[in-house]
Structure 1
Amino acid sequence: MTTMDSPQPPLHVVLYQPDIPQNTGNIGRTCVAVGAKLWLVRPLGYRLDDRYLKRAGMDYWQHLDWEAVDSWAELESRLPAERMWLLTRYATKLAWEVSFQPGDVLVFGSESRGLPDSLRERLAHRCLKLPMRPEVRSLNLASTANTIVYEAIRQFGGLP
Protein backbone atom coordinates (compact mmCIF):
# COMPACT_ATOMS: atom_id res chain seq x y z
CA MET A 1 0.00 0.00 0.00
CA THR A 2 1.24 3.48 -0.85
CA THR A 3 0.01 6.60 0.85
CA MET A 4 0.21 9.71 -1.29
CA ASP A 5 0.74 13.20 0.07
CA SER A 6 -2.54 14.62 -1.23
CA PRO A 7 -5.13 14.91 1.55
CA GLN A 8 -8.16 13.74 -0.42
CA PRO A 9 -8.18 11.85 -3.72
CA PRO A 10 -10.55 13.20 -6.39
CA LEU A 11 -12.20 9.76 -6.58
CA HIS A 12 -12.24 6.42 -4.80
CA VAL A 13 -12.32 3.39 -7.11
CA VAL A 14 -13.54 0.18 -5.44
CA LEU A 15 -13.09 -3.28 -6.93
CA TYR A 16 -15.39 -5.71 -5.14
CA GLN A 17 -13.75 -9.14 -5.09
CA PRO A 18 -11.93 -8.81 -8.41
CA ASP A 19 -10.86 -12.00 -10.21
CA ILE A 20 -8.36 -10.95 -12.87
CA PRO A 21 -5.04 -9.36 -11.87
CA GLN A 22 -4.50 -7.72 -15.25
CA ASN A 23 -7.73 -5.73 -14.89
CA THR A 24 -6.73 -4.58 -11.41
CA GLY A 25 -3.30 -3.57 -12.72
CA ASN A 26 -4.81 -1.55 -15.56
CA ILE A 27 -7.33 0.11 -13.25
CA GLY A 28 -4.52 0.87 -10.82
CA ARG A 29 -2.65 2.63 -13.62
CA THR A 30 -5.74 4.74 -14.38
CA CYS A 31 -5.99 5.62 -10.68
CA VAL A 32 -2.38 6.85 -10.73
CA ALA A 33 -3.13 8.90 -13.86
CA VAL A 34 -5.98 10.80 -12.18
CA GLY A 35 -4.88 10.66 -8.53
CA ALA A 36 -7.70 8.33 -7.45
CA LYS A 37 -7.41 5.89 -4.56
CA LEU A 38 -7.95 2.21 -5.36
CA TRP A 39 -9.75 0.00 -2.84
CA LEU A 40 -9.80 -3.80 -3.13
CA VAL A 41 -12.48 -5.72 -1.24
CA ARG A 42 -11.42 -9.27 -0.35
CA PRO A 43 -11.48 -12.08 -1.17
CA LEU A 44 -9.44 -11.47 -4.30
CA GLY A 45 -9.09 -13.97 -7.13
CA TYR A 46 -5.30 -13.58 -7.08
CA ARG A 47 -2.44 -12.74 -4.77
CA LEU A 48 -1.38 -9.12 -4.39
CA ASP A 49 2.16 -10.04 -5.39
CA ASP A 50 0.88 -11.64 -8.61
CA ARG A 51 3.24 -10.96 -11.52
CA TYR A 52 0.29 -10.25 -13.84
CA LEU A 53 -0.96 -7.55 -11.49
CA LYS A 54 2.47 -5.91 -11.42
CA ARG A 55 2.97 -6.31 -15.16
CA ALA A 56 -0.37 -4.68 -16.02
CA GLY A 57 0.37 -1.84 -13.60
CA MET A 58 3.90 -1.67 -14.94
CA ASP A 59 6.18 0.68 -13.10
CA TYR A 60 3.23 2.79 -11.92
CA TRP A 61 2.23 0.50 -9.05
CA GLN A 62 4.67 2.15 -6.62
CA HIS A 63 2.85 5.46 -7.18
CA LEU A 64 -0.61 4.01 -6.53
CA ASP A 65 -2.55 5.00 -3.43
CA TRP A 66 -4.34 1.73 -2.63
CA GLU A 67 -5.75 -0.30 0.18
CA ALA A 68 -7.22 -3.80 0.55
CA VAL A 69 -10.04 -4.34 3.06
CA ASP A 70 -11.41 -7.62 4.36
CA SER A 71 -15.11 -6.96 3.79
CA TRP A 72 -17.78 -4.68 2.39
CA ALA A 73 -18.71 -3.70 5.95
CA GLU A 74 -15.17 -2.49 6.57
CA LEU A 75 -15.23 -0.47 3.35
CA GLU A 76 -18.60 1.10 4.25
CA SER A 77 -17.25 2.12 7.63
CA ARG A 78 -14.43 3.99 5.91
CA LEU A 79 -16.18 5.60 2.92
CA PRO A 80 -19.46 7.56 2.74
CA ALA A 81 -22.34 5.46 1.33
CA GLU A 82 -24.11 8.60 0.14
CA ARG A 83 -21.19 9.21 -2.25
CA MET A 84 -21.13 5.66 -3.69
CA TRP A 85 -22.06 4.87 -7.27
CA LEU A 86 -22.37 1.17 -8.15
CA LEU A 87 -21.74 0.18 -11.75
CA THR A 88 -23.88 -2.72 -12.89
CA ARG A 89 -25.52 -3.88 -16.08
CA TYR A 90 -28.76 -4.23 -14.09
CA ALA A 91 -29.08 -0.48 -13.44
CA THR A 92 -31.74 1.59 -15.16
CA LYS A 93 -29.88 4.91 -14.94
CA LEU A 94 -27.02 5.77 -17.30
CA ALA A 95 -23.73 7.03 -15.90
CA TRP A 96 -24.12 10.43 -17.59
CA GLU A 97 -27.51 11.03 -15.98
CA VAL A 98 -25.87 11.86 -12.64
CA SER A 99 -23.54 14.60 -11.50
CA PHE A 100 -20.29 13.21 -10.18
CA GLN A 101 -18.51 15.19 -7.48
CA PRO A 102 -14.94 15.14 -6.14
CA GLY A 103 -14.64 12.44 -3.49
CA ASP A 104 -17.22 10.14 -5.10
CA VAL A 105 -16.83 6.39 -4.68
CA LEU A 106 -17.10 4.30 -7.86
CA VAL A 107 -17.82 0.62 -7.13
CA PHE A 108 -17.23 -2.16 -9.64
CA GLY A 109 -18.05 -5.85 -9.15
CA SER A 110 -15.96 -8.90 -9.92
CA GLU A 111 -15.49 -9.98 -13.50
CA SER A 112 -17.25 -13.31 -12.99
CA ARG A 113 -20.05 -12.42 -10.56
CA GLY A 114 -20.55 -8.66 -10.65
CA LEU A 115 -21.94 -7.08 -7.49
CA PRO A 116 -24.07 -9.12 -5.08
CA ASP A 117 -27.86 -8.83 -5.43
CA SER A 118 -28.18 -7.70 -1.81
CA LEU A 119 -25.86 -4.76 -2.39
CA ARG A 120 -27.51 -3.76 -5.68
CA GLU A 121 -30.96 -3.93 -4.08
CA ARG A 122 -30.00 -1.95 -0.97
CA LEU A 123 -28.32 0.76 -3.04
CA ALA A 124 -30.56 0.58 -6.13
CA HIS A 125 -30.87 4.39 -6.23
CA ARG A 126 -27.05 4.55 -6.56
CA CYS A 127 -26.72 2.05 -9.44
CA LEU A 128 -25.49 3.17 -12.85
CA LYS A 129 -24.70 1.53 -16.17
CA LEU A 130 -23.11 2.23 -19.51
CA PRO A 131 -25.32 1.94 -22.56
CA MET A 132 -24.80 -1.16 -24.69
CA ARG A 133 -26.66 -3.22 -27.20
CA PRO A 134 -28.45 -6.36 -25.98
CA GLU A 135 -26.00 -8.60 -27.87
CA VAL A 136 -23.32 -7.65 -25.32
CA ARG A 137 -23.63 -9.13 -21.82
CA SER A 138 -20.90 -6.98 -20.29
CA LEU A 139 -17.81 -4.93 -20.99
CA ASN A 140 -14.29 -5.56 -19.74
CA LEU A 141 -13.90 -4.34 -16.16
CA ALA A 142 -10.86 -2.17 -16.89
CA SER A 143 -12.58 -0.58 -19.90
CA THR A 144 -15.70 0.17 -17.86
CA ALA A 145 -13.70 1.62 -14.97
CA ASN A 146 -11.66 3.83 -17.30
CA THR A 147 -14.79 5.15 -18.98
CA ILE A 148 -16.53 6.00 -15.69
CA VAL A 149 -13.43 7.46 -14.02
CA TYR A 150 -12.78 9.82 -16.91
CA GLU A 151 -16.46 10.78 -17.20
CA ALA A 152 -16.43 11.72 -13.51
CA ILE A 153 -13.19 13.71 -13.91
CA ARG A 154 -14.61 15.46 -17.00
CA GLN A 155 -17.80 16.40 -15.16
CA PHE A 156 -16.09 18.10 -12.27
CA GLY A 157 -13.55 19.97 -14.30
CA GLY A 158 -10.51 17.80 -14.80
CA LEU A 159 -7.46 17.22 -12.69
CA PRO A 160 -6.15 19.80 -10.22
Structure 2
Amino acid sequence: MLIEPEIPQNTGNIARLTAATKSKLHLVGKLGFRIDEHSVRRAGVDYWHLVELEQHTDFEQFRARLPAPRLCLFSALGTKSYLDAGYKPGDALVFGKESKGLDDALLERFPDDVYGIPTLGPVRSLNLANAVSIVLYEALRQIGALSQTTLG
Protein backbone atom coordinates (compact mmCIF):
# COMPACT_ATOMS: atom_id res chain seq x y z
CA MET A 1 0.00 0.00 0.00
CA LEU A 2 1.23 3.48 -0.84
CA ILE A 3 -0.06 6.35 1.26
CA GLU A 4 -0.17 9.63 -0.69
CA PRO A 5 2.55 8.83 -3.24
CA GLU A 6 3.89 11.97 -4.88
CA ILE A 7 6.10 10.90 -7.78
CA PRO A 8 4.39 9.21 -10.73
CA GLN A 9 7.55 7.40 -11.86
CA ASN A 10 7.86 5.67 -8.48
CA THR A 11 4.24 4.61 -8.51
CA GLY A 12 4.63 3.45 -12.12
CA ASN A 13 7.60 1.30 -11.17
CA ILE A 14 5.73 -0.09 -8.18
CA ALA A 15 2.67 -0.77 -10.36
CA ARG A 16 4.86 -2.75 -12.77
CA LEU A 17 6.29 -4.66 -9.79
CA THR A 18 2.83 -5.51 -8.46
CA ALA A 19 1.71 -6.67 -11.91
CA ALA A 20 4.83 -8.84 -12.25
CA THR A 21 4.27 -10.41 -8.83
CA LYS A 22 0.46 -10.64 -9.01
CA SER A 23 0.24 -8.44 -5.93
CA LYS A 24 -2.55 -5.93 -5.35
CA LEU A 25 -1.63 -2.24 -5.30
CA HIS A 26 -3.51 -0.07 -2.83
CA LEU A 27 -3.23 3.71 -3.26
CA VAL A 28 -4.42 5.66 -0.25
CA GLY A 29 -5.23 9.34 0.05
CA LYS A 30 -4.38 12.20 -2.27
CA LEU A 31 -2.04 11.30 -5.13
CA GLY A 32 0.55 13.72 -6.46
CA PHE A 33 -0.47 12.84 -10.06
CA ARG A 34 -3.35 11.51 -12.12
CA ILE A 35 -3.86 7.85 -12.98
CA ASP A 36 -6.60 8.16 -15.58
CA GLU A 37 -6.13 6.16 -18.79
CA HIS A 38 -4.90 9.15 -20.82
CA SER A 39 -2.26 10.15 -18.25
CA VAL A 40 -1.02 6.60 -17.81
CA ARG A 41 -0.80 6.03 -21.58
CA ARG A 42 1.01 9.37 -22.09
CA ALA A 43 3.59 8.30 -19.48
CA GLY A 44 4.29 5.16 -21.52
CA VAL A 45 2.87 2.79 -18.92
CA ASP A 46 1.60 0.05 -21.21
CA TYR A 47 1.02 -2.56 -18.50
CA TRP A 48 -1.46 -0.59 -16.36
CA HIS A 49 -4.26 -2.96 -17.40
CA LEU A 50 -2.36 -5.76 -15.61
CA VAL A 51 -2.30 -3.91 -12.28
CA GLU A 52 -4.80 -5.02 -9.66
CA LEU A 53 -5.50 -1.60 -8.16
CA GLU A 54 -7.67 -0.36 -5.33
CA GLN A 55 -7.92 3.28 -4.33
CA HIS A 56 -8.96 4.44 -0.87
CA THR A 57 -9.76 7.96 0.26
CA ASP A 58 -7.85 7.49 3.51
CA PHE A 59 -6.19 4.92 5.77
CA GLU A 60 -9.39 4.24 7.70
CA GLN A 61 -11.27 3.40 4.52
CA PHE A 62 -8.48 1.00 3.58
CA ARG A 63 -8.76 -0.70 6.99
CA ALA A 64 -12.55 -0.91 6.73
CA ARG A 65 -12.47 -2.51 3.27
CA LEU A 66 -9.98 -5.24 4.05
CA PRO A 67 -10.52 -8.19 6.37
CA ALA A 68 -8.13 -7.21 9.18
CA PRO A 69 -4.77 -7.61 7.49
CA ARG A 70 -1.64 -7.56 9.58
CA LEU A 71 0.15 -4.30 8.91
CA CYS A 72 3.86 -4.03 8.24
CA LEU A 73 4.81 -0.35 8.13
CA PHE A 74 8.11 0.71 6.58
CA SER A 75 10.00 3.77 7.65
CA ALA A 76 13.55 5.08 7.76
CA LEU A 77 12.82 5.42 11.49
CA GLY A 78 12.13 1.69 11.90
CA THR A 79 14.39 -0.05 14.42
CA LYS A 80 13.54 -3.60 13.34
CA SER A 81 14.79 -5.01 10.03
CA TYR A 82 12.35 -5.86 7.26
CA LEU A 83 14.09 -9.26 7.18
CA ASP A 84 12.69 -10.05 10.63
CA ALA A 85 9.04 -9.26 9.94
CA GLY A 86 7.95 -12.89 9.55
CA TYR A 87 5.61 -12.19 6.62
CA LYS A 88 2.38 -14.12 6.16
CA PRO A 89 -0.06 -14.29 3.24
CA GLY A 90 -2.43 -11.32 3.38
CA ASP A 91 -0.04 -8.96 5.15
CA ALA A 92 -0.37 -5.32 4.11
CA LEU A 93 3.00 -3.72 3.31
CA VAL A 94 2.57 -0.01 4.04
CA PHE A 95 4.82 2.72 2.63
CA GLY A 96 4.55 6.49 2.92
CA LYS A 97 5.04 9.41 0.59
CA GLU A 98 8.45 10.15 -0.85
CA SER A 99 8.99 13.50 0.88
CA LYS A 100 7.99 12.58 4.45
CA GLY A 101 7.37 8.85 4.70
CA LEU A 102 4.57 7.71 6.99
CA ASP A 103 2.97 10.15 9.43
CA ASP A 104 4.27 10.03 12.99
CA ALA A 105 0.73 9.42 14.24
CA LEU A 106 0.48 6.23 12.19
CA LEU A 107 3.90 5.02 13.35
CA GLU A 108 2.90 5.73 16.96
CA ARG A 109 -0.40 3.92 16.50
CA PHE A 110 1.35 0.70 15.37
CA PRO A 111 4.78 0.84 17.07
CA ASP A 112 5.33 -2.94 17.05
CA ASP A 113 4.72 -3.13 13.30
CA VAL A 114 7.32 -0.63 12.06
CA TYR A 115 10.30 -1.94 10.09
CA GLY A 116 13.23 -0.41 8.28
CA ILE A 117 15.65 -1.43 5.55
CA PRO A 118 19.20 -1.35 6.93
CA THR A 119 21.77 0.59 4.94
CA LEU A 120 25.51 0.06 5.17
CA GLY A 121 26.58 3.57 4.23
CA PRO A 122 25.65 7.11 5.24
CA VAL A 123 22.44 7.12 3.15
CA ARG A 124 19.47 7.30 5.55
CA SER A 125 16.80 5.94 3.26
CA LEU A 126 16.16 4.46 -0.17
CA ASN A 127 14.01 5.49 -3.11
CA LEU A 128 10.39 4.42 -2.56
CA ALA A 129 10.22 2.10 -5.58
CA ASN A 130 13.47 0.41 -4.55
CA ALA A 131 12.28 -0.02 -0.97
CA VAL A 132 8.99 -1.57 -2.09
CA SER A 133 10.87 -3.94 -4.41
CA ILE A 134 13.23 -5.09 -1.67
CA VAL A 135 10.46 -5.69 0.85
CA LEU A 136 7.93 -7.24 -1.53
CA TYR A 137 10.38 -9.82 -2.86
CA GLU A 138 11.49 -10.74 0.66
CA ALA A 139 7.86 -11.14 1.72
CA LEU A 140 7.13 -13.31 -1.33
CA ARG A 141 10.23 -15.39 -0.62
CA GLN A 142 9.23 -15.93 3.00
CA ILE A 143 5.72 -17.11 2.13
CA GLY A 144 6.99 -19.43 -0.61
CA ALA A 145 5.38 -17.57 -3.51
CA LEU A 146 8.53 -17.35 -5.60
CA SER A 147 8.53 -21.06 -6.39
CA GLN A 148 5.84 -20.35 -8.99
CA THR A 149 7.83 -17.78 -10.95
CA THR A 150 8.78 -17.52 -14.57
CA LEU A 151 12.49 -16.94 -15.15
CA GLY A 152 13.90 -15.64 -18.42
Question: Normalising by the residue count of structure 1, what TM-score does the alignment of the two structures yield?
Answer: 0.84
| Amino acid in structure 2 at the alignment position of 1:151 | E
Give the Cα–Cα distance (whole angstroms) in 1 for the partners of residues 140 and 109 of structure 2.
26
1:40 counterpart = 2:27? yes
Give the superposition deviation at 1:39. Answer: 0.6
Residue 106 of structure 1 is matched in structure 2 by 93
SS at 1:31 equivalent: helix
Q: Residues 117 and 47 from structure 1, CA distance in 2 versus in 1: closer, same or farther, beyond 3 angstroms? A: same
Give the Cα–Cα distance (whole angstroms) in 2 for the partners of residues 133 and 52 of structure 1.
38
Structure 1 moving runs of 4+ over 4 Å: 50-57
Please tell me whether the aligned partners of residues 22 and 53 of structure 1 are also in contact (alpha carbons under 8 angstroms): no
Map Cα deviations across residues 9-43 of structure 1 (whole Å, 9 max, x no partner): xxxxx000000001001001110111110010121
1:31 to 18, 23, 34: 18
Residue 65 of structure 1 is matched in structure 2 by 52
Matches within 5 A, 1:85-100: 85-100=72-87
1:153 to 131, 140, 146: 140
Give the Cα–Cα distance (whole angstroms) in 1 for the partners of residues 41 and 120 of structure 2.
33
SS at 1:28 equivalent: helix
Q: Residues 69 and 157 from structure 1, CA distance in 2 versus in 1: closer, same or farther, beyond 3 angstroms? A: same
Structure 2: which 5+ runs fail to align? none
Structure 1: which 5+ runs fail to align? 1-13
SS at 1:59 equivalent: coil
Give the superposition deviation at 1:49. Answer: 2.8
1:21 counterpart = 2:8? yes
Map Cα deviations across residues 79-116 of structure 1 (whole Å, 9 max, x no partner): 35551100001111001112101111000000011100
Question: Normalising by the residue count of structure 2, what TM-score does the alignment of the two structures yield?
Answer: 0.88
Give the superposition deviation at 1:64. Answer: 0.7
Give the Cα–Cα distance (whole angstroms) in 2 for the partners of residues 73 and 36 of structure 1.
21
The aligned length equals: 147
Identity of aligned residues (%): 44
Q: Residues 81 and 138 from structure 1, CA distance in 2 versus in 1: closer, same or farther, beyond 3 angstroms? A: farther
Give the Cα–Cα distance (whole angstroms) in 1 for the partners of residues 83 and 39 of structure 2.
32
Please tell me whether the aligned partners of residues 75 and 101 of structure 2 are also in contact (alpha carbons under 8 angstroms): yes
Let me know the Cα RMSD of the aligned residues: 2.0
